Structures are given as structure tokens and as C-alpha cells.
Chains A and B, each alone.
Chain A
């Protein structure tokens, strides 16, 4: 019997620990595929922190660190400053990066630390049961604002990719979506370009990934993918927001 489709060799056989229809697994796979293809397995160090992806260190075979909620850009800074020849990436959720860890992410971006941050934006806190995130859309119902996000009461959603692009002078910044094959292929390209930015020492790299959370959104998996396409992308447009000098177009 021949295996036609396997996990990337940088990934382990551990069970994917996510809910049905969640697209975290796609993001993990893209990171694993790119690490394989760039041949950087022996030099890569990944950092995860609190949130749905807290256990994702089990999915990879390379060196991993589990840090405090929101602090992974600062932990990545400490790692990269100590090991400038290694590849260091942080895998964050939207609460991790845009709420509790906003300062750490913002200042890593301002310093143009030569690290890569992958930010999963699913517009809710998934691990704790679907509460509102900074990225929750206006009107979106969550367990902490059951009647929907009222901007006059709970403020407006934050567009992290645009924010990072506006403050980080030397950086690669992109937003991608994991809702269909076309967008997933574009997402993989962004992951490649983020690691290339780090490889060439061109600065900070940041890829925001719009990701489905059917359980948190109280939708079917298919409706979730449709909601990303029809609603989320309206608030969070896709594309590259910043490309550093020296990275081919």
C-alpha cells in the first residue's frame, strides 16, 4: 500500500487537537510544509502560548517552547537575540496577540525583530468558550456579548495586519484566509515569504490568518467558511500590506 498524502516530515503523528471544522490544522500544516520545503528544520524554534494552539507543540518534531499568554513575541525576541542564526516563529491567537499581548507584539514589530509571527484571527476566544476577542466583528454574537458586539459599548474590531504594517519599518506583513483552496495556496506563499524575510535578515514578519471557529461561531463548518468569505473579509481585507526591500515581489 502506498501513502498518497502524508503529513510534512517536520510534523509528528500526534492527533490534531481541534474541534471539527476548525482551520488551525491547515495553518499548522502550511507552516510544517514550508519548513520542509525551505530545509530549515534543524534551525527552527517555534513558540506557542495560551489559547487553542497551546498544545500544538506536539504536532511538530522540531524544538518548541510554550510561553505565557501573549508574551511569545518577547520570548521570541529573547531567543532570536541569543541565537541569531536560527529561525524563530511565534504562533498566536487573536486574544494572545491583539489583547493581552498587544504591547509585546507591537514593540517586537517596532524593533523589527527578525522573527515571524503567525496570528490566527477567528474573531473569538475559542479555548475558553467563544468569548469576544478584539477582532470580534460589529454585531457578532459571543458568549461575553450575547446580543452582539455594540461598538458604542465594547469598541471596534482591530485590523492587526494594517496596524503592524503602519508601525514596523522593515517588515513583511500579510493577511490571508484559510477558507478555500485558492486562499490556502496564497496563505502558503505568505508563510514562505515570511520565513524568507527572516532568512535574509530583512526584518519582522507577520502573517494574519482568517480562520474558522464553527463551535465558537455556532455555525456548521461549511457556513463558517462561507462567513469568512462573505463577512470577515469585508472587515479584514486580504493581501500583502508591506514587503521589505530585498524580498522579490
Chain B
């Protein structure tokens, strides 16, 4: 059992979009010297720098401090800009300016700070500006406390601020993925001209793991952004507007956004599946909960229980596709979350037929142990025939 756990922790993997579980191939083959031991926060920050992000604006808050300070130390080394703002409202507004200029830009914050950024996030979505916002979640509501939590799932996946918009939300589950998804985040943000959020927690942020970092991208070699405001020299002027001029233009904008979100939903859902071929019970979990659930599933498999795991990597778009193929075999779902039942709503929307979906989790900074999840899993598994 222990051996399997270690294998699991030390095998960095990449995200995939076809649902097959694929360990990251290069990790094993590469020389040891090319694999760094990094905390999740550092891995994410370094990943962002390597994908050409040269601007970071932020306001101090725990538990994202290491990410913020990594940027403060290392962005100047590559000619980048790090600025500590007077508030999260100012930070997200500075992002609005730098993103409008066509540069890769990001911030990191947590709970109360992310709430303050919702004004800016809504405006970024309206103006269709690409950027990365990292939410290293803490337990709320209110000021809450800094223990690992997944309490901001609904805020992140439903847009968060006012108006009819969506933010692409990525949920890493390892230091490797913190780095990989920073790459993914900027690529998706630019592709769709949309804000992207990485949703993680202090446990992922501070846990140190081997990370196979990607080769650096030259920010000057990125695809051009002909829509950016850079001064109207030799071209028609560009406009970056958080509001159109007329009611008709606003309707047109909303239709454009709706169609953009539909194509993101169709093309960009990512998830990881484990042991689902013959599974009768599927756990559904993301981020830290998925890491814990993964161990519980492995233990169950060793006990001969037909249990699998769906780990959404994109939380919006939620990977409904992962549930389509499971209609006949699965007898129950168990959603494991460090909150009072938020992703559960998406699982209830995605699952087919009368298969029941249960929730295991609490808010308030409660982190389940492998044993906790295993006990719950066995209880549901034993009742599954009678549900």
C-alpha cells in the first residue's frame, strides 16, 4: 500500500482531455538533474514566468504568499514588472490595463481578496481580456481562516461577479500540475480572450514535489494580439470596452460571449479518470480532495472493491463528457469536496438517469484523511445495490 502511495505522489502527470489516465511520460525518462523539487506555489509562479508572463500585480494575503514573493524575487530578473497594489481592486484593475496592452499578466489571491476582484473580473470578461487569476483558497465565509478549503467552487465556476459571463477554471492536484496548468491557463486565455482562474489551496501551494518544468517561452515570440491598445499607429484605432455603446451592441456582445462559452464547453473540458472500466462506484473530486480520494480508491481496489475516480481538471467547463459513458455500470457517485456540497450540483447536472450522488465533505477548513474517505466510500459501496 505504502509503495503505491509513493508511486502516486512521485509520478508527475499532465492533464489530458480524452479521459484516459496518462502519467507524464517524460518524467521517468529525464535525467534527475532536470527535475526540480518545488512547492506548488513556486511551480505555478515559475510555470507562469516560463510561459511568458512578465507582469504580476497583487496584494498580500495568506496562503498565496510564496507565489507572490516568488514573483517579487524572480520577475525583475527577466525584465518583468512586479507591483504590490493598494488593494485587490487596484490589482485586478492594473491587470485590466496590462491585458489591454496585449501582455501576459496575472495575480494571485485568496477568499476575501478574490471577492474584491469580482468587479474587475466581470469587466475583464466583458472586455474579453486574457489574464490569469490564481485563487489559493482559504476557508470562509467572511475572513475565515487559512486552512485548505474548496469553498470557492461556486464563486469561481459561476462567473463570480455581476452579469452573464464565465471564467475558465482549472484545478491542479500536484505541484507538477500547478506548473503545467499555468501554461495551459495562458494558452486558453489568449485563445479565447477570456480570464482564466487556477483554483487551488494552501496544501497544494506548500506541498513540495518533483516538477518537470517546461522550456521557457520568449514573451516576444508569442502570437500577436491585433486587438490590443498600443497606440493607433499605422492602423485603425483599437478599443477595449467594458460596455458597448447601444443596447443592440450589448445584446450582440452577450450573444458573442454565449457562443464563445459554448465552444469552450465543447472543446476544452479536461479530466482524469481512474479505474472506471468496471467501477460500480465512482468518486468525483478535484484538487487536494482528489489526491486524498485517489489514495482511498487505490486502497479500495486492493480490497477488491470496484471503485473508480473522476477528477475534473477544468471545473468550468465542467467535464460532463466524463459521465456520459458511465451510464450503465455506475450504481452511485460519491462527491468528495472540502466544502458543504458545491461541485455536487454539477455532478447532479452531469450524471445520467437515477444513479444517486452522495456528498462527503465539510466547510470550515476541514481536510479529510484517506481513512475518512475510505470509510465513507465503503459505506456507500455496501449500500449501492439497495439504493
* Known contacts A82-B98, A86-B230; A71 and B237 CB within 8 A of each other: no
Contacts of B67 in A (CB 8 A): none
Chain A 66-88, CB-CB to B under 8 Å as 1, else 0, gives 11100110111111111100100
Known: A63-B232, A81-B55, A103-B90. A75 touches B97 (CB 8 A): yes
Contact check, A78 vs B242: say whether CB atoms are below 8 A apart: no
Contact B239 A71 (CB under 8 A): no
Check B93–A44 contact: CB distance below 8 A: no
- Given known pairs A67-B123, A68-B93, A82-B55, the reply for A75 and B230 (CB within 8 Å) is no
Q: When the two chains form the complex, which single residue of A71, A78, A79, A104 contacts B57, counting CB atoms closer than 8 Å?
A: A78
**Which of these binds chain B: A51-59, A148-156, A169-177?**
A51-59
In chain A, positions 97-135 with a C-beta closer than 8 Å to chain B are 103-104, 106-107
Are A79 and B233 in contact, CB atoms less than 8 angstroms apart? no
Known: A57-B239, A81-B94. 16 other contacts (CB 8 A): A42-B234, A45-B231, A60-B237, A63-B232, A64-B229, A65-B240, A67-B123, A78-B98, A78-B101, A79-B97, A79-B98, A81-B55, A86-B230, A104-B89, A104-B93, A106-B86
B115 CB-CB contact with A under 8 Å: no
Chain B interface helix/strand/loop/mixed: mixed
Taken residue by residue from 177 to 199, chain B's Cβ proximity to chain A (1 for < 8 Å, 0 otherwise) reads as 00000000000000000000000
Q: Quick one: CB contact mask for A31-66 with B, threshold 8 Å, 1 for yes?
A: 000000000011111010000001101101111111
Determine how close the nearest CB of chain A comes to the CB of B118; give it in whole angstroms.
Answer: 11
Residues of B within 8 A of A55 (CB): 245
Q: State A83–B55 Cα separation when bound (angstroms).
A: 12
Question: Which residue of the partner chain B has the closest CB to A103?
Answer: B86
Inter-chain contacts of B94 with A (CB < 8 A)? 74-75, 77-78, 81
B313 within 8 A of A: no
Residues of A within 8 A of B (CB): 41-45, 47, 54-55, 57-58, 60-68, 71-72, 74-83, 86, 103-104, 106-107
Q: Which residue of A lies closest to B123 (CB)?
A: A68
Give 20 pairs: A residue, B residue, CB < 8 Å, sorted on A.
A42-B232, A44-B231, A57-B241, A60-B237, A65-B229, A66-B241, A68-B120, A68-B123, A75-B93, A75-B94, A75-B96, A75-B97, A77-B94, A78-B97, A78-B98, A82-B98, A83-B231, A86-B231, A104-B89, A104-B90
CB nearest neighbor in A for B86: A107
Could you say which interface size class chain B belongs to? 35 or more
Q: Are A63 and B230 in touch, CB under 8 angstroms? A: yes
| Residues of the B chain whose Cβ atoms lie less than 8 Å from the Cβ of A61 | 232, 237
- Interface 1/0s, chain B 106-121, versus A by CB < 8 A? 0000000000000110
Contact partner of A68 among B101, B231, B242, B245, CB < 8 A? B242
Q: Which residue of B lies closest to A63 (CB)?
A: B229
Q: What residues of A have a CB within 8 angstroms of the CB of B243 in the complex?
A: 54, 66
Q: Do A81 and B232 touch across chains, with their CB atoms under 8 A apart?
A: no
